[in-house]
Amino acid sequence: MSGGDRTQPGPGGGAGPGHAAPAAPAGDAPPAIELRHINKHFGPVHANRDISLSVARGTIHGIIGENGAGKSTLMSILYGFYQADSGEIRVNGQPTPILTPSDAIRAGIGMVHQHFMLVYPFTVLENVVLGTESRPLLRETLAGARAELERLEREYGLEVDPDAVVENLPVGAQQRVEILKALYRGADILILDEPTGVLTPQEADDLFRILAALRDQGKTVILITHKLREIMAITDNVSVMRQGQMVAHRKTSETSRDELAELMVGRKVLLRVEKGEAQLGPVILDVEGLDVVDHLGVRRVKDVSFQVRAGEIVGIAGVSGNGQSELLAALAGMTRPAKGHIRIRGTDVAGHHVDARTMRALKVAHVPEDRQREGLVTSFAANECAILGYHRAPRYNRGLFLDRGRILGATRQLMQDYDVRPPNPFLPAANFSGGNQQKIVVAREITSDPDLLLVGQPTRGVDIGAIEFIHRRLIAMRDAGKAILLVSVELDEIMSLSDRILVMFDGHIVGEVPQDRRDERTIGLMMAGVPLETAEAQAHAAAGAH
């Protein structure tokens, strides 16, 4: 651990420019953050190569790049999780060594992580003061903090009930708690790492409003993302990273999605998928009156009925948490439906003792929503992950033992076909980037040659190059006459891939979006539970009003 003997030039509290960098020339304030020639190695991997970056005070600065481009590493260096091998960090013009997160906090830097660092059974207030308890009695600390918290909430429009228990809050509110935590600790510069990955479109919009308010109050925001939409919507400036290097700095107003995408990937990218007419075959999946009750006894899927035919992609749109996950789990055999029918090519499996193994035997493959928690075992080598769910198949076994030769051969083939990088079947899954992890999962499931493919959030946390690749594979499967059920909270994805779109809200299927009336507004309203006819009317009215 580091000692506390260094001088601390950065601003300590939430106070404004008063004491910061008095030596700076008047009128031309130094940048809030300046990184100079940062280098960072992990073993042989040069994760950050001679990175320089300047973030102007009072702006929202986007850093965009594919997964594995080095964005998170760079921000981890700025926040003191890692130390750079070489290079310099300046905060408000002052060289500031940041060796630990507490150094960063003292320098006025706050970070909101992709995965929240919250104590879920605690209240909002308790979470906010956590680690800053200054008085021996918690009550006194809390009383002082409450006033400060209320001031922050008012000032930045961050509405959260201080006494709500965090685990009962929606994800968007939990994220606001993280922001409040950082502000409470006096952050002047706020780093957000992939903040919208867990949010619904509406929640994301709320977040952007908050970020704008923060900027207007003089705070500096660094937004790390791989989503072009967010960069265009909210940032003032954007820096693009690729393969450990900073490849471009742009003013957001002077660039375009296409240019950024090209900079990120290093080549021209097709943002839209091209696909032909669906060639419909027989009904593969027939769901009728399905109810799913979760382990707490809450009814999560309510009387759902639909069909998926061979040769089509059926998309299920909906705000996260409206029963899609439970529906998918039930269809995959991971949970048992409370009632209703699931027929695979006419065979009713509901009501029997069904697990994921039986469903695979029925040629149902499944790309789960959460690859890290379900689709892979992150500590396993890639070749072991490549057989998960198929480890009993004769092709991977020889007598009592697993057939290592064939497993490795199959993994190498799969890595080659799906361009998994690095193509090393012995590397633990955790060491692959999100996109490459997802490619392993998708490849495993598609190469099992299923009749029905269940796909949940296939491109969550996946970089653009991989998204394009995975989308093309799904289309190819559909064109080969397979049935695909796609669940995604990314409306873009649903709209570009699906032949038919169903919208789920509160466990029900609200309706099917007609082929000719697919617009974001209509679907968005249906996702909020508005029936099709009303949604159409409202969408038209809104369009007319503009």
Partner 1 sequence: MATAEPVRAPAWVRVGLVPLVNLLLAFIVTGLVVLAVGENPFEVLRLLVRGAFGYPEAIGYTLYYTTNFIFTGLAVAVAIHAGLFNIGGEGQAYIGGLGVGLVCLYLDFLPFIVVLPLAIIAAALFGAAWAFIPALLQAKRGSHIVITTIMFNFIAAALMVFLLGKVLIKPGQMSPESRQFADHLFLPKIHEVLEPVGISIGRSPLNLSFIWALVCCVLVYLFIWRTRWGYEFRTVGQNERAAVYGGISPSRVTIWAMVISGALAGFMGINEIMGVNHRLLLNFTAGYGFVGIAVALMGRNHPVGIVLAALLFGALTQGVAEVPFDIPAIDREMQQVIQGLIILFAGALEYMVRPHVERAYVALFRPRRQPVAAE
Residues at the interface with partner 1 (CB under 8 A): 39, 41-47, 49, 67-68, 70, 72-73, 81-82, 85, 243-244, 332-334, 355-360, 366, 368, 370, 373-380, 384, 387-389, 391-392, 396-397, 400-402, 404, 421-422, 430-431, 433
Least CB distance to partner 1 at residue 75 (A) = 11
Closest CB to partner 1 among residues 282, 409: 409
DSSP symbols for 493-508: HHHHH-SEEEEEETTE
Least CB distance to partner 1 at residue 517 (A) = 36
Q: Tell me the two tokens of residue 191.
A: 């780093």
CA nearest 464: which of 304, 258, 315?
258
Cα dihedral 501, 506, 508, 509, rounded to 10, equals -10
Least CB distance to partner 1 at residue 334 (A) = 5
Least CB distance to partner 1 at residue 324 (A) = 16
Closest CB to partner 1 among residues 108, 375: 375
Residue 342 near residue 331 (C-beta atoms within 8 A)? yes
Closest CB to partner 1 among residues 157, 422: 422
Closest CB to partner 1 among residues 213, 402: 402
Radius of gyration of the chain (CA): 25
Least CB distance to partner 1 at residue 329 (A) = 9
Closest CB to partner 1 among residues 8, 39: 39
Q: How far apart are CA 330 and CA 155, in angstroms?
A: 45
Q: Which residues of 429-464 are buried (b: 16+ CB within 10 A; e: fewer)?
A: beebbbbbbbbbbbbbbbbbebbbbbbbbbbbbbbb
Least CB distance to partner 1 at residue 42 (A) = 5
Least CB distance to partner 1 at residue 333 (A) = 7
DSSP symbols for 24-63: SPTTSPPPSEEEEEEEEEETTEEEEEEEEEEE-TT-EEEE
Least CB distance to partner 1 at residue 191 (A) = 15
Closest CB to partner 1 among residues 266, 531: 266
CA distances from 107 to 23, 35, 101 (A): 17, 14, 10
Secondary structure letter of residue 268 according to DSSP: -
Closest CB to partner 1 among residues 191, 376: 376
Instruction: Report angle CA 259, 89, 261 to the nearest 5 degrees.
Output: 10
Closest CB to partner 1 among residues 214, 376: 376
Q: How far apart are CA 209 and CA 200, in angstroms?
A: 14
